[in-house]
A and B are shown apart, each in its own frame.
Chain A
Amino acid sequence: MTTLSPPSNKQASPSASPKLQPVTGQQPKSSVRVAILGCGQIADAHLSQIQRIKFAETVAVCDSLEDLAYQAAARFNVPAMFTDWREMLQQAQPDVVHLATPAHTHAALAIELMKAGVHVYVEKPFTLDVNEADRVLAVARETGKAICVGHDQLFDPVWLRVKQLVAQGAIGSVGFVESVLGYPINGQFGKLVASDPNHSVRRLPGGLFQNTISHPLYRMTDYLTDEVPTLIGGWERNTEFDFPTELHVSLLGEKVNGTLTFSTRIPPQRITRVYGEKGTLTVDFDTQVIRREARPRLPGAFAKLEAPLQHVTESVRNLTRNLWRFAWGDIHYFAGMKTLFEQFYRSIMHGSEPPIPAIEIRRVTHIMDQIFDHCRRQEGGQA
């Protein structure tokens, strides 16, 4: 028996007890029934963001470990929990399943879920490699089920603003993108991965990087549109660890170049800088700040005054924007995730194109494969 007793549910709001919805029954056409498969840390982000979407309802959570399913259901007031996903589909009848399991399980589970009749949202990384991605996308076409990948930072408010500014010509045409991810190995998750040689992340083809570099990479590939960019650089091992912990690669495309840096030696940070012919836009996802720097228009020594003045103006603009957003309760770490979920669910409800095209899912996976192959060759001295 894998269906578990519903947990207590007490905390949807400070003032009122939530109303439980029946697990089964007719699906209202105006809403989406969502289930979560895999109740690790990232599932918390999914559950909290789904709660913010008015037309979505989490109907079940599932994890092979009963205690993980229990804690997620209890905290997020989910009416049913399971340790067997097939039973979950049968009893909870979700429209969409969010796959938040370890990466090596994504392809097989996504294929089985779509064949079982549900749409699937897959956490990053989409699959272990492009061959798996191709198989998953082929099943999506065959079954007519929608599939989405967790490239949520593409829908973060600051990134959407950057895209808007670029589209308006604020920095001219883009020529270079620089993307940095700071990922200290002494953080909670890093420690866990470093101390356990059998950790699932260590066994990924791209190791520690595969689990995270899709974020800085897809921020680059939004502008660098090549399928097979030329690669320079590699990964290296920190002397303390027996696996690679630093990655620095340049991607040379036909029209746009870029650099991707993953470092365990710097504090946590998610920064992307977009260089155009007329200026640059630097976006810091953690502080929700965009800094625009135009090429100085004044000559000689006057330019040295114009640039810092620009910085002051940008600071005032950022402060005003963030104060306004704070006042409206609009600053959320996973804001992009909520927007992506909404767009994905709407595409399901209306039968329209998904927010991230299949071709982009495949391309990012393929470029990751190329990066890891390149780094391995570099390390082996074969390149």
Chain B
Amino acid sequence: MSTAKRVCLTGATGFLGRRLVPRLLNEQDVTVRCLVRNSSDVDPLLGVLSAEQQSRIEFVRGDMRDAEYLKQGLDSCDVLYHLAAALGGSTSTLFLNTVVPTRQLLDVAHAQGVGRFVLVSSLGVYGTAGLRNWQQVDETCPLDPQPERRDPYSFSKVRQEQVAREFSQKTGLPLVIVRPGVIFGEGRPLITSRVGLSVGPLLVRMGGSHSLPYTYVENCAEALKLAGLTPGVEGETFNVVDEGFLTGHQLVRYVRRHGQKKWSVWVPGMCIQPLSWMYETYSWLSSGQLPPVITPYRSAAIWKPLRYSSSNAKAKLNWQPPFTVEQSLERTIAG
């Protein structure tokens, strides 16, 4: 697949990056350069590599706001995987740590003649509030037209994609966008906001009759590797979800069966919108005494029953998830 490629990464020591790097180094003639912060601990990553693989990896430490550092890091780079992104914090913090560095990285990547810029986006960028129940979500669905009404993370990812697309169209920088679903794996909880809301020790399960848009971290890393190394996919966008994953109901039952106590109450799917409307109205009437974190728009974006498709990745990248749903769940619970 690859012929002597120099691959650069941001976010190499993160949850996904730690799985992507060994897969890249499994490819012969690929050398990997990781752009990491001064404070990043690279030992866990090096620990899973063979001596031969360690000879093909280098770390360049610095600050992504420093253009000179990025120039040095992206020198002679064929493929750049941009994984680094803020996961939490206020909207301004997420923009500062996700969107602003992406702009800088795009500029330098273009100036350095990077052959392909692979942006790790999110399945959350779609404007799912406007879709019908059970509609299929593929790469042709539009981005959320009102991302400012979403949670801060989704808003920042929509903006990041817009910035990258506009830049690519303007400059011709070859861009590939990967939109993973909720990435799970060893060390991360299986129950997320896609299943319901955690209120103290209680889980408020929201709907839960549709297959969750999850992807196991190793499966996602494989898709990502292919998005960078497969020839001729510039300009493409790829959803990455493990099709046939459990529903919310099934996932809660699964974690209970495996010994995790989970007290929960269930909100049927048909009640989510009226309850969200009531919450938002109260929030508005009380001038934000309870902040508008639950709104009909946000609820539709997270909990509406939809079918997510990865068929583009399967067709054009020849992606086959290396782990089945059962295997990935077992590994996650065991880890």
Contacts and interface: CB of A to CB of B under 8 A. Distances in A.
A10 B89 contact: no
B149 A67 contact: no
Contact of B96 (A11, A65, A70, A332): A65
A7 B148 contact: yes
A186 to B, nearest CB: 13
A14 B287 contact: no
B315 to A, nearest CB: 34
Contacts of A41: 90, 92-93
Contacts of A326: 289
B147 to A, nearest CB: 8
Given A14-B280, A14-B284, A188-B89, A8 B148 contact: yes
Interface string B265-286: 0000000000001001100111
A40 interface: yes
A195 B40 CA distance: 10
Q: Chain B: interface residue count, which band?
A: 20 to 34
A83 to B, nearest CB: 12
A15 B93 CA distance: 29
A13 B91 contact: no
B288 A332 contact: yes
B307 interface: no
B39 A195 contact: yes
A67 B39 contact: no
A252 interface: no
A74 B150 CA distance: 11
A322 to B, nearest CB: 12
Contacts of A330: 289
Interface string A1-27: 000000110110111000000000000
Contact of A72 (B63, B92, B146): B92
Interface string B134-171: 00000000000111110000011001000100000000
B149 A10 contact: yes
Nearest to B102: A67
Contacts, number: 82
A147 interface: no
B302 to A, nearest CB: 17
Given A67-B99, A188-B88, A10 B93 contact: no
A13 B289 CA distance: 14
B5 interface: no
Chain B interface, DSSP helix/strand/loop, else mixed: helix
Contacts of A180: none
A48 interface: yes
Nearest to A65: B100
Contacts of B288: 48, 52, 332
B319 interface: no
A251 B96 CA distance: 39
A52 B39 CA distance: 42
A14 B148 CA distance: 14
B148 A10 contact: yes
A47 B39 CA distance: 34
Nearest to B145: A8
A137 B284 CA distance: 39
A322 B156 CA distance: 36
A11 B277 contact: no
B91 A8 contact: no
Contact of B159 (A39, A71, A192): A71
A44 B91 contact: yes
A28 interface: no
Given A8-B146, A11-B149, A195-B39, A329 B92 contact: no
Contacts of A249: none
A68 interface: yes
Interface string A325-359: 01001111000000000000000000000000000
Nearest to B286: A329
A44 B89 CA distance: 13
Nearest to B147: A74
Contacts of A188: 88-90, 93
A376 interface: no
Contact of B92 (A39, A52, A198): A39
B116 to A, nearest CB: 24
A366 interface: no
A71 B148 contact: yes
Nearest to A330: B289
A43 interface: yes
B286 to A, nearest CB: 3
Contacts of A14: 277, 280-281, 284, 295-296
A41 B152 CA distance: 12
A202 interface: no
A197 to B, nearest CB: 8
B145 to A, nearest CB: 7
Q: Considering the complex of A and B, which 9 residue pairs feature the smallest CB-CB distances, nearest first? A: A329-B286, A74-B148, A67-B99, A329-B289, A14-B280, A41-B90, A75-B148, A71-B95, A67-B95
Given A44-B92, A329-B286, 16 more contacts: A7-B148, A15-B281, A52-B288, A68-B95, A70-B95, A71-B92, A71-B148, A71-B155, A75-B148, A188-B93, A195-B37, A326-B289, A329-B287, A330-B289, A331-B289, A332-B289
24 contacts: A7-B148, A14-B284, A15-B281, A39-B92, A40-B92, A40-B93, A40-B96, A41-B90, A43-B92, A44-B90, A67-B96, A67-B100, A68-B96, A70-B95, A70-B159, A75-B91, A75-B148, A195-B39, A329-B286, A329-B289, A331-B289, A332-B287, A332-B288, A332-B289
